[in-house]
Amino acid sequence: MTNMTLAIPEDLMLIMKRHKEIRWSEVAREAIWDKARKLEIMDSILSKSKLTEADAIEIGRKIKEGIAKRHGIE
């Protein structure tokens, strides 16, 4: 198994130190697996899509325009 080093903010580290009963490496490993599985599903869905990046950008632009119009921001 490969090792990984993470930078943890000081305030998070204080919380982790108060809960030494938790196997924090296991928590991190599970979170990484969860994200990786979601990315695999996304890749699978996208591999079947005929939508181009330009199409996605255009759809996003239209959605933003619709939201702005709905909220009176033009």
Whether the predicted pLDDT of 11 surpasses 80:
yes
Q: Which amino acid is at 66?
A: G
**If 0-12 CB within 10 Å is exposed, 13-18 middle and 19+ buried, where does residue 60 land?**
exposed
Domain map (residue ranges) of the chain: 21-70
Q: Whole-structure pTM over 0.75, yes or no?
A: no
Q: What is the pLDDT of residue 73?
A: 84
pLDDT in tens, 14-55: 999 999 999 999 999 999 999 999 999 999 998 998 999 899
The pLDDT assigned to 40 comes to: 98
CB 54 within 8 A of CB 32: no
Contact 22, 16 (CB under 8 A): yes
